[in-house]
Structure 1
């Protein structure tokens, strides 16, 4: 994935259109997703303006993604978005793609949608940084939902460095991601208005939420120099934070 990409040549809602045509999503919900997709486009532009970098490829998955844990069989978590490395093509080209879920677009408030887009953008930057440095072959396993949330929030870049020109966006992120994402109203809506109505739902074990990238694919990742420069800047802020320097506020 390059730091500077061409304008998207595909419709991020293409899978939603297909699911609606196949009768998997009711017309009312489909129209809600299509109309509220404007919030996603606004959020992507907001992230790009605040960070000075292009957003990676993204699309809407017409399914609710639920994570389960064998150790916590009575509980489940909801993935409203994921950042996924994808190896495709004969030359094993590596791309990093942000997957948003249909319930997020259909039911999420503007601040929540923008916060999740920004959070996944930080995942994208962190992943690109690790791959570019050839640090990663597979990500750590998480055995419980709690460990998954802790690992998610513990390794990201500092949002105050990435989005320093947009304090409201920073507030959205810190409010909704204190230790893993929490938005009870959105979760309740997703359960009652999507999962309980029998709409497409994908269940994945929490310990299957890992990243495994062939070493040859990592070698083919192209990172624009502007992205490298920004990453170096962001990581220096994270290092200063660990040393107790809060000058970046």
Structure 2
């Protein structure tokens, strides 16, 4: 899959100006370097990733003024009875994000991916709770992920993650650029609900998903190490 195919189509259809397109293409190697870095630091292959040519905005309630910008998402999909996880990277992140920010967000989504695959290996994806607000979603997010220091053997990458995700991602400069240079320029925007990432699979569907034994073993090892660290934090 060409990770820039949707971006190329958006330019062809006149949705993205050539200047913005050229900037994203020029800076895309930063994201590629981040993926390579994450694979090296974790020893695990990164899932399929692509650039979404829009600003993705999430609101818990259509009548609410509260919203959050989602610079990347981990999306579970079922296509032709095949289950796959893809990482959606928003074009504004590639266009305006600093190198450390891009790598931190890609690493954060990778942790989501690992948790999702871990739940699949345990046949634990029949249902999921949906948080009622952006804040609650961030809190749930932070309490459920694998511990970054267990997964990544890269001190600088860990520092980026810790700095950008102390209690949910916030980068005011990046958000300001995304609003001023993208949203207010009437470039493509996608509004989603907080539960749009929720996927429910039957036990039969789950049983058809085949994961490599060595991958499952690695997930189990990381989960146990993460649990030990979290217990130490509590006590």
- Give the TM bin, normalised by the shorter chain: over 0.9
In 2, Cα distance between the equivalents of 1:245 and 1:219?
A: 35
For 2:209, which of 214, 221, 226 is the aligned residue? 221
In 2, Cα distance between the equivalents of 1:19 and 1:11?
A: 14
Please name the residue that 2:33 is paired with. Answer: 42
- Cα offset, 1:71, TM superposition: 8.8
In 2, Cα distance between the equivalents of 1:191 and 1:215?
A: 42
Residues 187-242 of structure 1, C-alpha deviation per residue, up to 9 Å, x if partnerless? 00001111111000011122444233343332222211221122122111112113
Residues 102-124 of structure 1, C-alpha deviation per residue, up to 9 Å, x if partnerless? 11111111001000111111100
Report which of the two has the higher share of helix. Answer: 2
In 2, Cα distance between the equivalents of 1:181 and 1:49?
A: 23
Residues 28-50 of structure 1, C-alpha deviation per residue, up to 9 Å, x if partnerless? 00001111100011000000000
- Cα offset, 1:166, TM superposition: 0.3
Please name the residue that 1:66 is paired with. Answer: 57
**Could you list the runs of 5+ residues in structure 1 that have no partner in the other structure?**
1-9
In 2, Cα distance between the equivalents of 1:71 and 1:197?
A: 22
CA contact 2:75–2:197 (8 Å) conserved in 1: no
Please name the residue that 1:210 is paired with. Answer: 198
Please name the residue that 2:224 is paired with. Answer: 236
CA contact 1:144–1:207 (8 Å) conserved in 2: no
Residues 87-132 of structure 1, C-alpha deviation per residue, up to 9 Å, x if partnerless? 112xx11011111111111111100100011111110010000011
Matched, 1:106 2:95: yes
Describe the shift of the 1:239–1:72 C-alpha distance in structure 2 as closer, same or farther (beyond 3 A). farther
- Cα offset, 1:75, TM superposition: 2.1
- Cα offset, 1:72, TM superposition: 7.8
In 2, Cα distance between the equivalents of 1:215 and 1:105?
A: 38
In 1, Cα distance between the equivalents of 2:201 and 2:132?
A: 20
Please name the residue that 2:136 is paired with. Answer: 147
- Cα offset, 1:74, TM superposition: 2.2
- Secondary structure at the counterpart of residue 86 of structure 1: strand
Please name the residue that 1:82 is paired with. Answer: 73
In 2, Cα distance between the equivalents of 1:141 and 1:45?
A: 32
In 2, Cα distance between the equivalents of 1:137 and 1:201?
A: 31
Please name the residue that 2:120 is paired with. Answer: 131
Matched, 1:186 2:177: no
In 2, Cα distance between the equivalents of 1:63 and 1:245?
A: 38
**TM, length-normalised to structure 2:** 0.95
- Secondary structure at the counterpart of residue 169 of structure 2: coil
Q: Once superposed, what is the RMSD of the aligned Cα atoms?
A: 1.7
CA contact 1:141–1:207 (8 Å) conserved in 2: yes
- Secondary structure at the counterpart of residue 70 of structure 1: coil
